[in-house]
């Protein structure tokens, strides 16, 4: 954690990386709390892309009307390769200084926070991070904005798949998002009664999954659902289906849920989390704290240095998977 002693008058807010339901609620909180505290709040379009392209515009209270329930991000988002280079960052900082932005709130995932940390380390621009990603893979926070909505969206799809799987006595492999993390997979796997859950880190094997399916069949089960996290690239479910077919002759239907998990109206839990975190980010800046992320520990909001957030990996809760396996027997 770092401190700065400059009195701030104008802050910027941006969303960066993959969008997540609840980002709008976080933007709304930053803008409305900031203005209530006498600050001017500017929105930066599409994260680091707009910082480099100088798309930085004032936001008013009225701009925040009717957005708390909307998925996506009204500020747009993106991933900027240029910002990973020193010249890109210099361009961005020149624009921030020209717009007289004293401090920033960055709503995004760990890639976005690496950028935020660099802004403080290299240019002493104070930034506070708010974790917004459906993946829930941010070290230092139990929950990230968007995760609850994504899990519920995926679960709704899985429940529907279960209806058709049961009607046809079929095996389904459902692939959920999460890139290198298994949080969505483990949560929807437990909540959706999956027979096996594959996380990206090789927690189980196709042989074990086949054993679980066969044990189920022996007990009279006629349909099964396996959940897999996508891993590095989407399509892992097809590889698993091929492998099961080759080993057993069983046919598996594949359903890749994909980007629908990123959209939709945020759940109450995500709106509340986003509102609290957005407000806490502004409060932290007002107190002169920066280079931190607002995280959660249970129900409590905490502040975690960005350095620690970005250098550590949050591990998938394997106990949820063991429980899911036990309960699916």
- Contacting residues toward ligand F6P, per CB under 6 A: 18, 109, 133-135, 177-179, 230, 262
Nearer to ligand F6P, 34 or 140 (CB): 140
Sort strands 224-229 and 171-176 into parallel, antiparallel or unpaired: parallel
Q: How far is the CB of 323 from ligand F6P (least distance, A)?
A: 23
- By three-state DSSP, how is residue 127 classified? strand
Residue closer to ligand F6P, measured from CB, 145 or 284: 145
Q: How far is Cα 305 from Cα 310, in angstroms, rounded to an integer? A: 9
Decide if 96 contacts 56 (C-beta within 8 A). yes
Q: How far is the CB of 262 from ligand F6P (least distance, A)?
A: 5
Active-site annotation holder among 19, 102, 110, 135: 135
Give 62's contacts (C-beta < 8 A, 6+ positions apart): none
State the nearest-atom distance from the C-beta of 60 to ligand F6P, in Å. Answer: 30
Residues 56 and 43 sit within 8 Å (Cβ to Cβ): yes
Question: What is the length of the chain?
Answer: 329
Rounded to a whole number of angstroms, the minimum distance from the CB of residue 150 to ligand F6P is: 8
User: What is the DSSP-derived secondary structure letter of residue 136?
Assistant: -
Instruction: For residues 143 and 24, give the distance between their C-alpha atoms in angstroms, rounded to a whole number.
Output: 17
- Return the HEC string of 92-113: HHHHHHHCCCCEEEEEECHHHH
Task: Measure the CA dihedral 309/228/203/151, to 10°.
Answer: 40
Minimal distance in Å, beta carbon 302 to ligand F6P? 22
- For residues 213 and 240, which CB has a smaller minimum distance to ligand F6P in the complex? 240
- 297 forms bridges with which residues in the sheet? 300
Task: Identify which of residues 135 and 196 has a Cβ nearer to ligand F6P in the complex.
Answer: 135
- Residue closer to ligand F6P by CB (options 18, 71) is 18
| Residue closer to ligand F6P, measured from CB, 101 or 174 | 174
Q: How far is the CB of 109 from ligand F6P (least distance, A)?
A: 6
Q: Edge-to-edge strand order for the sheet containing 171-176?
A: 196-198, 224-229, 171-176, 252-256
Active site residue 135: yes
Active site residues: 135
């Amino acid at each position: 954690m770092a401190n700065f002693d400059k009195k701030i008058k104008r802050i910027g807010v941006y969303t960066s990386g993959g969008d997540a339901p609840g980002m709008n609620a976080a933007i709304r909180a930053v803008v409305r709390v900031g203005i209530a505290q006498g600050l001017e709040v500017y929105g930066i379009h599409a994260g680091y892309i707009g910082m480099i392209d100088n798309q930085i515009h004032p936001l008013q209270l009225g701009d925040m009307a009717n957005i708390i329930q909307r998925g996506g991000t009204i500020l747009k988002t993106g991933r900027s390769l240029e910002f990973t280079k020193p010249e890109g960052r210099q361009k961005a900082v020149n624009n921030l200084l020209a717009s007289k932005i004293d401090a920033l709130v960055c709503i995004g995932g760990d890639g976005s926070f690496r950028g935020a940390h660099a802004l403080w380390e290299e240019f002493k621009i104070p930034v506070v991070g708010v974790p917004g990603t459906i993946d829930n893979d941010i070290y230092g926070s139990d929950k990230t904005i968007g995760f609850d909505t994504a899990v519920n969206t995926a679960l709704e799809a899985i429940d529907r798949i279960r209806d058709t799987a049961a009607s046809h006595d079929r095996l389904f492999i459902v692939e959920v998002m999460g890139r290198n993390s298994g949080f969505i997979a483990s949560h929807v796997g437990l909540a959706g009664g999956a027979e096996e859950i594959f996380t990206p880190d090789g927690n189980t094997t196709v042989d074990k999954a086949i054993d679980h399916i066969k044990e189920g069949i022996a007990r009279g089960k006629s349909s099964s659902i396996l959940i897999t996290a996508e891993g590095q690239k989407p399509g892992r479910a097809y590889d698993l289906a091929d492998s099961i077919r080759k080993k057993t002759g069983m046919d598996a239907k594949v359903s890749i849920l994909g980007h629908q998990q990123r959209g939709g109206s945020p759940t109450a839990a995500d709106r509340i989390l986003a509102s609290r975190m957005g407000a806490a980010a502004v409060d932290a800046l007002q107190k002169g704290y920066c280079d931190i992320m607002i995280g959660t520990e249970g129900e409590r909001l905490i502040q975690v240095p960005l350095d620690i957030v970005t250098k550590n990996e949050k591990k998938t809760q394997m106990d949820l998977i063991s429980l899911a396996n036990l309960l699916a027997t």
